[in-house]
Structure 1
Amino acid sequence: MIPYGDFTFFYIALALLLPVIVLGLMGRKYIGLNVAVSFIMLVLIFKDPNKNLFGISILSYEMISFVVYILYQLLLIKLYLQVIKKHNTLTNFILIMIAVILPLAVVKVFQSTLFGFGSYQVGEIPIKSIIGFLGISYIMFKSIQILMEIRDRRLEEINSFELIKFLSFFPTISSGPIDRFKRFQKDENKPLTKERYALLLHKALHYIMIGLLYKYILAYWIDQYIILAIDFDTASIWMKIIYMYGYSFYLFFDFAGYSLFAIAFSYLMTIETPPNFNAPFASKNIKDFWNRWHMSLSFWFRDMVYMRIVFFMTKKKVLKDAFMVSNIAFILNFFIMGIWHGLEWHYIAYGLYHGILFVGYGYYEKWRKKNPWKLPPTVVNILAIIITFHFVAFGFLIFSGKLF
């Protein structure tokens, strides 16, 4: 069952959450009930619909991989908590990070057509189905964030059960938004009142309604009447431009709709998962765009990749020019983000494209300080939004793979 993929998912999830909602409206919360709902939903998400034994569905390879991976991450985090008490070295940190990232790296290689591994099988089962599962990268993001906080001495002890709940939280399991462990824990431990839950319920229903509009009406219409209707390879240049616009809006409405669903179901479970989108096509520059688009991922990369590269290069005095250090960090940051999407040329090109845009905008900002616009601010803002949108839309066309 694909999360938020059809109305059956909503019916089952809401039915299971009904006791949680009733208790919440009474100002009461039982963590065990949330855990039970998450467990049942995860079983339904990962179960194999094609295999049954005496009428009982058999768990899929993805479910087994999911359980093993959660336990693997738990083991690594617990191990690092012990290691860091005596040996808080960069070498140990790098080794533990390699161990955390390795399973996803293997999955990406076997999912990719770039190296020709995509069709490898064990018997009749693709290798990528044995070692991978829906949402593996988002769990990895959570684990890396925790490990970095441990290295920074901001986390010194972690309860295993609390960690498993955080890593396997079903509303955000497949595609985020990416939450932070301390923020998640704060919501879990926050006292619940009737008034607070009524507000959470109201917001959840509101987000579900907007999500339905985005994903099941607007994204569906664009997919059916623009994306699927245009043969990009034989289309004229004008139809290719229409395709670029359509694909850009399709990505937004489809993913923003999904994100609203994930946030809504989190709210029903009293977890105020952070937002993922904030009117991204109203951005005035590329930096503004990444502060509005897939915000939890963007902020994660900013904090866990970009800032770490800048800090390392500054500490080691790799370069004296802080502006160049920042530019190199931007390129590496988006290059890694591109590889994370997949080991295909169009994903890598997409990441590098945005890294180059960041560098270019940095030079533009320096130039503009010496050469301010003489147009009215309103006109400048409108032009900035239009120009930024077209740079972003072209990037999405690269992302689509249609240019390669």
Structure 2
Amino acid sequence: MIPYGTFTFFLIAFVLLIPVIILGLQGKRSRIYNGLSTLVMIELIFSSDKHNLFGQTWLSVQFINFILYILWQVAIILYYWKSRAKNNTFSKFFIVIVLSILPLVIVKIAQSSLIGASSIHFHESKVVELIGFLGISYITFKSVQLLMEIRDGSIKEVNFWKIIQFISFFPTISSGPIDRYKRFAKDDQKIPSGMQYHQMLLKAVHFIMIGFLYKYIIAYLIQVYAINPLMLDFNGFTTKWLYMYAYSLYLFFDFAGYSLFAIAFSYIYGIQTPPNFKQPFKAKNIKDFWNRWHMTLSFWFRDCIYMRTLFFLSKKKLLKSQFAMSNIAFSLNFIIMGIWHGIEIYYIAYGLYHALLFIGYGYYERWRKTHPPRWKNQITTIISIIITFHFVAFGFLIFSGKLF
């Protein structure tokens, strides 16, 4: 069952969470019940009529893959945690990172080469159903981030059950937002008072209402009355131009709606999962956009790819120019982000496109330091927002695979 995809999913989730809500309003929490309710929801998410064992819907191939993958990640994390003091070399760190992402790489290659990934959210190919599971990317992101934080020494304590709880947290399991272990563990350790939980519950209800507006009203209307009619005769410049607008808006409202559902259910559990979107189409430039769009993923790539690449280049002094090294790091960051979506040419082109936008804007910023603008007011701000939106929307057209 697709998370937040049907009324049945919401109904079952709400019924299961009634005890959580009652305890929360009393300033209490049952970790045992939270764990059991999470297990039930995970089993519901991965249940399958097609790919199961012994004819049992609940014993699906995806569910088995999920359990095995969780154990795989936990084993890697605990091994690295326990062995880091004796031998915390880069080679060992590199090996555990490779082992952590290896299953995801296999799934992505199989998906792209045998069937081809779909740009429509939540589509799962038969290949992924058989060798992977829904949300494998986001569990991998959490695990890799945790390994990096262990190497940096910012993680002071790692607990077996806490790791499982963190990487298998059902509200965010399929498409994020991507939380951080330290932040998650802090929320989980501190039980909010009845009054604090009441405020969190009100926010959760608000997020759910906005989520329904975004995903099941606005995104639905865009798909039915804009995307579908345009796809009937997808030829000509004007059609693709209109599709660019429709697809960009659809992506935002569909994914932002889902993210709000995930955040809402997190709040019900007492976990304040960070937001994923912050009015991205109000961005004044491309850097501002990536500080607003899919923020948890953007910040993950920034911290795990860009910053570490830049640190490595600076440490080795491979180039004299810090600006040039930053551009190399930006390029690698967005190319990997594109490949993560799939190895199709349009995903890679999407990554390269945003790398070029970042590099180009970097040169523009340097030029602006010696050429300050003559006018800086509300009109120029609106113009900046419009220009940025069109650059971003064209990138989504590339991402959709419909440009050529």
Would the TM-score normalized by the shorter structure come out above 0.5? yes
**How far apart, in 1, do the equivalents of 2:267 and 2:326 lie?**
37
Aligned residues of 2:51 and 2:129 also touching (Cα < 8 A): no
Indicate yes or no: 2:325 matched with 1:346.
no
Between the aligned partners of 2:213 and 2:2, the Cα distance in structure 1 is 19
Q: Which amino acid aligns with 2:323?
A: F
Amino acid at match of 2:330: F
For residues 286-330 of structure 1, what are the alpha-carbon distances to aligned partners after superposition, in whole Å with 9 as ceiling and x for unaligned? 000000000000001111110000100000111110000111000
Show the 5 A alignment for 1:179-218: 179-218=179-218
Q: 1:60-79 alignment to 2 at 5 Å?
A: 60-79=60-79
**Counterparts of 1:212 and 1:326 in 2: how far apart (Å)?**
40
What does residue 122 of structure 2 align with?
none
Matches within 5 A, 1:147-158: 147-158=147-158
Other-structure match for 2:385? 385
CA change 1:376–1:306 in 2 (3 A) is closer
Post-superposition shift, 1:271? 0.3
> CA-atom RMSD, angstroms?
1.8
Partner of 2:44: 44
Residue 302 (structure 1) aligns with: 302
Relative to structure 1, the CA distance from residue 32 to residue 381 in structure 2 (aligned partners, 3 Å threshold; closer, same or farther) is same
**Superposed CA offset, 1:13-53 (max 9, x none):** 00100111111111111111111111000001001134789
The range that moved more, 98-107 or 364-373, is 364-373
| Greater CA drift, 253-262 or 371-380 | 371-380
- Count of aligned positions: 397
Work out the CA distance in 2 between the residues paired with 1:343 and 1:55.
Answer: 34
Secondary structure in 2 aligned to 1:57?
Answer: strand
Question: By how many angstroms is 1:191 displaced?
Answer: 2.8
Percent identical across equivalent pairs?
A: 59
Distance 1:137 1:281 in 2: 26
Q: Determine the C-alpha separation between the residues in 2 that align with 1:326 and 1:75.
A: 35
TM-score, scaled relative to structure 2: 0.95
- SS of residue paired to 1:367: helix
CA distance in 2, matches of 1:257, 1:299: 20
Task: Point out 4+ residue stretches in structure 1 off by more than 4 angstroms.
Answer: 50-56, 116-119
Whether the 8 Å CA contact 1:81–1:156 is kept in 2: the answer is no
| 1:223-302 → structure 2 map (5 Å cutoff) | 223-231=223-231, 234-302=234-302
Q: 1:93 to 1:51 in 2, by over 3 A?
A: closer
- Relative to 1, partners in 2 of residues 1:300 and 1:232: Cα closer, same or farther, differing over 3 Å? farther
- 1:50 and 1:335 map into 2 onto residues whose CA distance is 35
Match of 1:176 in 2: 176
Q: Which amino acid aligns with 2:288?
A: D
Question: How high is the TM-score relative to the length of structure 1?
Answer: 0.95
1:365 maps to amino acid: E
Structure 2 equivalent of residue 122 of structure 1 = none
Matching residue's letter, 1:393:
A
Amino acid at match of 1:10: F
Q: Distance in 2 between matches of 1:62 and 1:234?
A: 36
The residue number in structure 2 matching 1:145 is 145
- Report how far residue 117 of structure 1 moved: 6.8
SS at match of 2:277: coil
CA distance in 2, matches of 1:212, 1:129: 27
Corresponding residue for residue 322 of structure 1: 322
When residues 386 and 61 of structure 1 are mapped into structure 2, their CA distance, relative to the original with a 3 A threshold, is same
Contact 1:212 1:257 in 2 (8 A): yes
51 and 86 in structure 1: CA distance in 2 versus 1, 3 angstrom threshold? closer
**2:398 paired with 1:398:** yes
User: How many angstroms does 1:55 deviate by?
Assistant: 9.0
Judged with a 3 Å threshold, the aligned counterparts in structure 2 of structure 1 residues 211 and 86 are, in CA distance, closer, same or farther, namely same
**Contact 1:335–1:351 (Cα < 8 Å) also in 2:** yes
Q: Secondary structure at the match of 2:218?
A: helix
Cα separation, 1, equivalents of 2:96 and 2:54: 43
TM-superposition CA deviations, 1:263-294 (whole Å, max 9, x none):
00000000000000000000000000000000
**CA distance, structure 1, for counterparts of residue 126 and residue 12 of structure 2:** 29
Q: What is the letter of the counterpart of residue 27 of structure 2?
A: G
- Unpaired runs of 5+ in structure 2? 118-124
Give, in angstroms, the shift of residue 236 of structure 1. Answer: 3.1
Letter of the 2:271 partner, please give it. I
SS at match of 2:48: strand
Which amino acid counterpart does residue 353 of structure 1 have in structure 2?
Y
Residue 361 in 1 paired to residue 345 in 2? no
Distance 1:266 1:157 in 2: 23
Match of residue 93 from structure 1:
93
